[in-house]
Amino acid sequence: MDLKQIDDAIEEANLSFLILAQQLIECDMSRAALTLGLERQVLERIANLTPRQMSTISKSPFLLMTVKERGMDVLDTPDKVDDQIKAFHHSILMLTENTAS
């Protein structure tokens, strides 16, 4: 893969990320904040981007998404992802249950 192909792949990944982020924000702002690890103000800016703006931003030579600290567990133990997701989901349910009471 040459540098042009890498740049094209980064652009495609960035655009896909922005489109997915907008869809997630539209469906559930709270989940988007948790999933993307972004503050509400940033999410609102992403939600309001036009297709043209998203296309322009996606041309950045830098990936818009990064592996966060919590993602390191997934990278370190990919064979245990299902268990980690279940534990994370259980934690969210417990937190939701505690705040609802």
Residue-range domain boundaries for the chain: 1-62, 67-101
Q: Which of 4, 8, 48 has the alpha carbon at shortest distance from 25?
A: 48
Instruction: List, for residues 36-89, the tens digit of each pLDDT value.
Output: 888 999 999 999 999 999 999 999 989 998 766 555 565 566 566 566 566 665
CATH code that applies to domain 1-62: 1.10.4000.10
Q: Which DSSP state fits 38? A: -
Instruction: List, for residues 11-36, the tens digit of each pLDDT value.
Output: 999 999 999 999 999 999 999 998 88
Output the pTM of the full model: 0.69
Give start and end residues of each alpha helix (H) in 28-80. 29-36, 40-47, 51-58, 69-76
CA 22 centroid distance within chain: 10
